[in-house]
């Protein structure tokens, strides 16, 4: 651990930097991102990213009058986990910041289980504190790693365009998950910590090359960064643009679906008009139509086979969508139906 007693409570002139300017630009551009007077909960691990974000938020807190709370998840994966939690609490007390932490009541044997536990704790703590914004310190470097991993796994455009800047947290309509550092690289957060001599608690599990993300971090992205400086943030920016395009599709596809329907029967599409479109458009329309009307996702391979069966010279057909739902088509229509509803 690197530790220095330099306080965050410096003058505005000493505090302000291009990094503060960059973060404030996001806040100004999107009033609901971190609104004035918001009650916010920051997930803090003690690593360079979350410590750098804590610094920026503390400095901007004077301007935006946020009520900033810190939460730490102690996974107890390392022998020094309890010590890190205690030292983080001392640091937060010195900076006059609210701090709380949780220990798991079950063994967290995978990163996916640990992530689920963290969000459960963050949601519970947010409800207790009346916080409507949960903040995490994911950087553009994290989003670049995620994009590369998802491409390698064969994800579709929705999977590739992960880690949005902000989103509603699951079914909770009044809690937003916010990621303010997605236009910052890991080099930026390291520089912030160095500039203000912030304490950093290094997590040795981030250096374990048995984790695929760490191999991307240490072996792939550095090569891309050397070849094309700034690659981290450009790859991250690509993810952001894909999210915007996905949003455009979500807004336009319902209009396309409506144009393929007669009267107000939402379970029926005109076959000739549908197959007159490009296969790419058919793919998007059918996927969204089935998802909205049946609450079913259709696998890519099944969707591809369906599209090849829809030209008029292929005749009528039927496809089981599970859960009682099926898609049937004749010469004029495609129709969604549910065998259980038909029996009622």
Q: Residues comprising the binding site for ATP?
A: 45-50
Annotated binding residues, as ranges? 45-50
- 317 strand-pairing partners: 329
Instruction: Provide the angle, in degrees to the nearest 10, between the axes of the packed helices 279-294 and 231-259.
Output: 80
Q: How many CB atoms lie within 10 A of CB 333?
A: 18
Sign of the dihedral defined by the CA atoms of residues 101, 107, 110, 113, in that order: negative
102 three-state secondary structure? strand
C-beta of residue 179 within 8 angstroms of C-beta of residue 169: no
Which H, E and C letters describe 276-298, residue by residue?
CCCHHHHHHHHHHHHHHHHCCCC
> What's the CA gap between 222 and 236, in Å, rounded?
15
- Measured distance between the N- and C-terminal CA atoms of the chain, rounded to whole angstroms: 66
Question: Rounded to whole angstroms, how far apart are CA atoms 343 and 195?
Answer: 70
Alpha-carbon distance 126 to 46, whole Å? 20
The encoded tokens of residue 111 equal 């990163």
| Tokens (6 digits) for 101 | 């932490």
């Amino acid at each position: 651990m690197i530790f220095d007693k330099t306080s965050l409570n410096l003058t505005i002139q000493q505090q302000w930097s291009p990094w503060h300017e960059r973060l404030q630009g996001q806040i100004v551009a999107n009033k609901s991102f971190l609104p004035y007077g918001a009650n916010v909960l920051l997930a803090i691990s003690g690593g360079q990213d979350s410590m750098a974000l804590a610094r920026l938020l503390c400095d901007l807190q004077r301007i935006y009058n946020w009520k900033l709370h810190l939460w730490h998840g102690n996974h107890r994966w390392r022998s020094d986990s309890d010590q890190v939690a205690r030292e983080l609490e001392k640091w937060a007390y010195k900076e006059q910041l609210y701090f709380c932490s949780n220990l798991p009541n079950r063994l967290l044997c995978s990163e996916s289980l640990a992530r689920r536990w963290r969000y459960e704790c963050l949601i519970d703590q947010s409800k207790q504190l009346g916080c409507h914004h949960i903040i995490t310190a994911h950087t553009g470097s994290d989003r670049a790693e995620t994009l590369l991993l998802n491409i390698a796994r064969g994800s579709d455009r929705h999977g590739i365009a992960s880690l949005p800047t902000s989103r509603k947290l699951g079914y909770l309509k009044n809690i937003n998950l916010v990621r303010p550092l997605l236009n910052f690289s890991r080099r930026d957060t390291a520089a912030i910590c160095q500039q203000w001599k912030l304490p950093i608690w290094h997590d040795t599990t981030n250096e374990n090359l048995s984790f695929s993300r760490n191999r991307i971090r240490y072996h792939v992205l550095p090569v891309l960064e050397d070849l094309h400086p700034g690659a981290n943030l450009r790859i991250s920016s690509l993810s952001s643009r894909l999210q915007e395009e996905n949003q455009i599709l979500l807004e336009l596809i319902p209009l396309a679906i409506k144009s393929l329907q007669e009267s107000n029967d939402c379970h029926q599409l005109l076959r000739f008009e549908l197959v007159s479109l490009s296969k790419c458009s058919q793919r998007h329309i059918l996927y969204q139509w089935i998802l909205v009307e049946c609450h079913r996702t259709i696998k890519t391979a099944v969707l591809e086979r369906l599209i090849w069966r829809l030209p008029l010279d292929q005749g009528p057909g039927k496809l089981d969508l599970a859960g009682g739902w099926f898609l049937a088509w004749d010469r004029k229509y495609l129709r969604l139906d549910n065998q259980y509803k038909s029996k009622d």
